[in-house]
């Protein structure tokens, strides 16, 4: 497991400054070079996880997963198993192999509160069943990184930085946000989302439904209009973006499989 060198350790004010640098980079001075020059030193020094710098891929995908208080231990285990099963599904592997390049790059990030953002599994190049299995095994072996509040904006900002530093040359860049509640901590979700979209990144969502939440949790997991409506209005964006509903954690694997196939089909 590779913990992000700076994001879990720096205060929210510094994270906000980093996000401003990202906004300026994509609006005023395009290119990752500006981001590297203006980021805090520890972030700028963070090495690319991929040994194949410049490797072309069809998609560079960051899986951004909510591990806040509303996700129980058993629910978290089902999600992790769902991710692993989806990436090893023959239909997903077949979709990867039939891309124009025949390979994708994937990394897995967990988020809770604003200072609890961790890159749990670094960049993996997936081009066949064996490489998909290696990614799944790495994901399953990693323990839960945190718990706390729900900083969706901070998770998206971390994912955008991961994409800028990946070392891959993707045709498309996608952030997958998976969670069960609204954002209640960290960097402004609207600001992080806007910056990512300006950078040409597509954000998709996987919204998990709580059918009968306890009273203390209901405002978080069932905001006005429902969590799917919240994700559609506040989280997703970019060309071909979509949000998929998961009715319970037992359905996570099937939903993730459908989601990956849809993303890989969006050539």
Rounded to two decimals, the pTM is 0.80
Question: Can you list the alpha helix ranges (DSSP code H) found in the chain?
Answer: 12-27, 32-38, 41-44, 73-88, 90-97, 129-141, 152-164, 189-198, 218-221, 227-234, 252-265
- What local confidence, expressed as pLDDT, does residue 52 receive? 57
Looking at per-residue confidence, does 135 or 75 come out higher? Answer: 135
pLDDT band of residue 122 (cuts 50, 70, 90) is very high
> In the predicted model, what is the mean pLDDT of residues 180-206?
95
Domains (range + CATH), the chain: 12-44+53-265 (3.40.50.410)
- What local confidence, expressed as pLDDT, does residue 250 receive? 78
**What are the pLDDT digits (tens) for 204-225?**
999 998 877 777 788 788 889 9
Cα(33)–Cα(25) distance, integer angstroms: 9
Task: Tell whether the model's pLDDT for residue 178 goes beyond 80.
Answer: yes
**What are the pLDDT digits (tens) for 28-50?**
333 333 233 323 322 332 333 44
- What local confidence, expressed as pLDDT, does residue 25 receive? 44
Cα(134)–Cα(129) distance, integer angstroms: 9
> In the predicted model, what is the mean pLDDT of residues 90-109?
96
> In the predicted model, what is the mean pLDDT of residues 145-161?
92
- What local confidence, expressed as pLDDT, does residue 215 receive? 79
* Mean pLDDT estimate for the chain: 82
Cα(142)–Cα(175) distance, integer angstroms: 20
Of 69-83, 88-102, 217-231, where does the model show the most confidence? 88-102
pLDDT band of residue 267 (cuts 50, 70, 90) is low
């Amino acid at each position: 497991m590779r913990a992000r060198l700076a994001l879990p350790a720096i205060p929210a004010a510094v994270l906000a400054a980093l996000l401003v640098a990202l906004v300026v980079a994509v609006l005023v001075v395009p290119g990752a070079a500006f981001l590297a020059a203006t980021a805090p030193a520890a972030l700028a020094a963070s090495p690319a996880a991929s040994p194949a710098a410049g490797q072309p891929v069809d998609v560079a995908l960051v899986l951004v997963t909510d591990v806040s208080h509303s996700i129980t231990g058993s629910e978290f285990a089902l999600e992790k198993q769902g991710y692993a099963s989806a990436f090893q599904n023959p239909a997903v592997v077949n979709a990867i192999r039939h891309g124009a390049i025949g390979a994708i790059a994937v990394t897995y990030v967990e988020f809770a509160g604003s200072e609890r953002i961790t890159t749990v599994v670094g960049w993996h190049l997936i081009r066949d069943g064996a490489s998909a299995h290696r990614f799944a095994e790495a994901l399953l072996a990693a323990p839960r990184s945190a718990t706390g509040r729900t900083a969706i904006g901070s998770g998206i900002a971390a994912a955008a930085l991961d994409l800028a530093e990946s070392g891959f040359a993707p045709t498309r860049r996608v952030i997958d946000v998976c969670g069960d509640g609204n954002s209640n901590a960290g960097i402004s979700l609207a600001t992080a989302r806007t910056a990512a979209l300006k950078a040409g990144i597509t954000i998709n969502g996987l919204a998990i439904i709580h059918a009968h939440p306890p009273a203390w949790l209901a405002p978080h997991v069932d905001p006005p209009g429902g969590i799917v409506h919240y994700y559609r209005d506040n989280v997703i964006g970019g060309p071909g973006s979509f949000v998929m509903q998961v009715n319970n954690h037992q359905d996570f694997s099937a939903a993730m499989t459908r989601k990956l196939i849809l993303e890989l089909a969006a050539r």
